[in-house]
Amino acid sequence: MHSHYTSQLDTATGRIDLSHGGGGRAMSQLIAQLFIRHFDNPWLRQANDQALFEVETGRLVISTDGHVISPLFFPGGDIGSLAVHGTINDVCMSGAQPLYLTVGFILEEGLPLADLEKIVVSMAAAAGQANTPIITGDTKVVERGKADGVFITTTGVGRVAAGVDISADRARPGCAILISGSIGDHGVAIMASRENLQFETSIVSDSAALNSLVTDMVAAAPTAICCLRDPTRGGLAAALNELALASGVGMLIDERRIPVKPEVRAACEILGLDPLYIANEGKLLCICASPAAERLLEAMRRHPLGRDAMQIGEVTADPHHLVQMTSELGGRRIVDWPVGEQLPRIC
């Protein structure tokens, strides 16, 4: 039969070659036997170059994120689960509930199909858990040495409920600054796994989809949340500086209140890293009207991904938009923007 795919992808020993991106039979097989099979949903089965969905009048958000993490597999996840979590989190930092995902793969010739299948299975599981189907996608293949295994760009669409109005420019002096849990886990897990450090088994990435935590927070205080941001690249320091700049305010945080796991703190000392600047993939920063802070912390702590939530400081009036921190010894220092690149390809 010319038009039926009788041959099977060899996911045990096969490798990606240029024909898998050529638009012909090999690409169709890859799509059918790997992507459609695992992401299984009616949109993909329709075999269009786009997916169609119904909406009701209201506000949607869209977000896109490329993922180039190295190594592809790490303690607590892999590039596939990370690509799903990362984009879902960017969508829900607007207060939206994610609806759909799309995925663009850039594959390097020679990538073992077994690795790709593991990644696809992991993406499918992460998308399923977050109730956000992957409804369309694209695959490109480049020659050996022109990429690094696999890069994954995901895009997410979500819906913002009426009355919810969350944006980077809405922080006001007096607002409370909350964090959903300990910082630095993701970055340190990646570094440890790259460097083959002894403590690597005890530290795992916090990579997780935050949409159900956001749902609980929005339900607890629908109009009191001003800003949400997931402190990924550049860590808490970058996220606070971005929000300070966008809102035209300052921030004052208290080092003693910022949760850092002892093993992460120890690893940071060995590696010469500052947890404030290290990427997280399952934490959120929330800036809210001060009277709602306790209510939000309670809602966060009831959720498995917010158990260690803390208020870590407050928004100040500051024409220089500085982020400052009261240190454990009582002094005050400026938490500046990250400079240079400490941890390339952390996400």
Report the sign of the C-alpha dihedral through residues 94, 283, 247, 87, in that order.
Answer: negative
For residues 69-88, which are near its own copies according to CB under 8 A? none
Question: With respect to its own copies, which residue has the nearer C-beta, 213 or 297?
Answer: 213
Query: Are residues 94 and 228 in contact, defined by beta-carbon separation less than 8 angstroms?
Result: yes
Query: Are residues 4 and 89 in contact, defined by beta-carbon separation less than 8 angstroms?
Result: no
**Paired sense of beta strands 77-78 and 310-316, if any:** unpaired
Does 36 contact its own copies by CB under 8 A? no
Report residue 117: phi and psi, to 5°: -65, -40
Minimum gap (Å) between residue 17 Cβ and its own copies: 7
Does 234 contact its own copies by CB under 8 A? yes
**Binding residue for its own copies, selected from 6, 8, 12, 23, defined by CB under 8 A:** 23
Does 22 contact its own copies by CB under 8 A? yes
Question: With respect to its own copies, which residue has the nearer C-beta, 51 or 266?
Answer: 51
Q: Cβ neighbours of residue 105 under 8 Å, at least 6 residues apart?
A: 137, 138, 139, 140, 150, 151, 152
Does 64 contact its own copies by CB under 8 A? yes
Which string of x and - marks every residue 146-175 that binds its own copies (by CB under 8 A)? xxx--x-x-x-xx-x------xxx------
Question: With respect to its own copies, which residue has the nearer C-beta, 104 or 128?
Answer: 104
Query: Are residues 125 and 81 in contact, defined by beta-carbon separation less than 8 angstroms?
Result: yes
Does 1 contact its own copies by CB under 8 A? yes
Query: Are residues 135 and 51 in contact, defined by beta-carbon separation less than 8 angstroms?
Result: yes
E strand intervals along 183-249: 225-229
**Binding residue for its own copies, selected from 11, 14, 15, 27, defined by CB under 8 A:** 27
**Binding residue for its own copies, selected from 6, 8, 13, 50, defined by CB under 8 A:** 50
Closest alpha carbon to 105 in 92, 91, 89, 119: 119
Work out the angle at residue 266's Cα, subtended by the Cα atoms of residues 287 and 237, and round it to the nearest 5 degrees.
Answer: 25
- Residue identified by tokens 């869209």 is 62
Does 2 contact its own copies by CB under 8 A? yes
Question: With respect to its own copies, which residue has the nearer C-beta, 52 or 262?
Answer: 52
Which string of x and - marks every residue 304-323 that binds its own copies (by CB under 8 A)? ----------------xxx-
For residues 111-150, which are near its own copies according to CB under 8 A? 135-143, 145-148
Does 60 contact its own copies by CB under 8 A? yes
Tell me 236's DSSP state. H
> Is residue 319 classed as helix, strand or coil in its secondary structure?
coil
For residues 199-218, which are near its own copies according to CB under 8 A? none
**Binding residue for its own copies, selected from 3, 6, 8, 13, defined by CB under 8 A:** 3
